[in-house]
Amino acid sequence: MEVIRAKRAGACYGVQRALDMADEVIADGGRAYTLGPLIHNPQVVADLAARGAEAVSSVEEIRWEGAAAAGAPADGVVPTNANAPAVVIRSHGVTPQVLAAVEDRGFSVVDATCPHVSRAQHAAAELAAEGCRVIVVGEAGHPEVEGLTAWAEEAGGKVDVVAAPEEIPEGLYDPVGVVAQTTQRRENLEAVVAALREAGLAPIVKNTICSATRQRQEAAADLASAVDAMVVIGGRNSSNTTRLAEVCALTCPRTFHIESADELDPAAFAGCRRVGVTAGASTPENQIAAVEAFLRTL
């Protein structure tokens, strides 16, 4: 059975940058925390925790043994001159309120926010500052979308999150600004913008979709149309990996979204002559290689 990897697959620049920054903190030997999972890959997050970078859901969860000696209050707040733990801001970014809370507690801040996400945050804030009603095209509840929403609201804007054209609220009027979650499909952004225009609006559109996301989706679609089965590797909590699986399934019904090679069932590939492999932007090379190696044994 021939195993073919998509031309674009695996960890993107923003993810690799975040991993490298976390690795540097760990290598320095200091205590480190990440606010939420650094990236949407459970195996990588578990490895970081084992090596000293623990994921916490809020700043309040961080407790430092040296806080009392440094003169910090019992609730764990650390003065700015203390040798405090490092808090790594995850690649999806955080809200301005969370960032302020980290800084107010005096922790050492390592901002691993993906530069593309930072650009989207700034775009949302700029639209809001210009008086636009901001439409965020993305998944409600996703950490990146929560951040985009909060940055726009911090700039004084009113924000609506829509996943599809049918979720656009009624009664909108210009000026309306549009940004997108960086891992959205371009077709979805275009459909929302088209619906706004059909409603008589003239939206100001900031296309904040990451080029790496688009490239991976296009490469995956090309490969999926030429193979008998597709394997998509990445966290099930990863938005961009989920999108990849959806794109592949459109032309290759035998598409499998997995997190590791352990999930592969040899029987699922019976009769396959060519199998394609792709991976989300939060999937490191070693996980892709393990899956390819397993498939080549079939």
In whole angstroms, what is the distance from residue 248 CA to residue 219 CA?
10
Given this model, what pLDDT does residue 62 score? 85
The string of pLDDT tens digits covering residues 64-74 is: 654 443 444 44
Predicted TM-score (pTM) of this structure: 0.81
Using CA atoms, how far apart are residues 288 and 87, in angstroms rounded to an integer? 29
In 3D space, the residue among 180, 201, 177 whose CA is nearest the CA of residue 190 turns out to be: 180
DSSP state of 253: S
Residue of 24, 65, 103, 144 marked catalytic: 144
Low-confidence ranges of the chain (pLDDT < 70): 64-83
Model pLDDT, residue 143: 92
> pLDDT at position 2, please?
96
Q: In what order do the strands lie in the sheet with 86-89?
A: 53-56, 32-35, 86-89, 108-111
Angle at 212 between CA 235 and CA 4, to 5 degrees: 70
Q: Known catalytic residue: 103?
A: no
At 143, the amino acid letter reads P
> Which tokens in the block code for residue 132?
């636009």
Q: What is the pLDDT of residues 124-144, one digit of tens each?
A: 999 999 999 999 999 999 999
pLDDT at res. 74 = 42
pLDDT score for 85: 82
Q: Are 241 and 34 in contact (CB under 8 A)?
A: no
pLDDT of residue 159: 97
239-267 b/e with 16+ CB inside 10 Å = b?
Answer: bbbbbbbebbbebbebbbbbbebeebeee
Residues 6+ apart with CB under 8 A from 135: 159, 160, 162, 168, 176, 177, 178, 179, 192, 196, 203
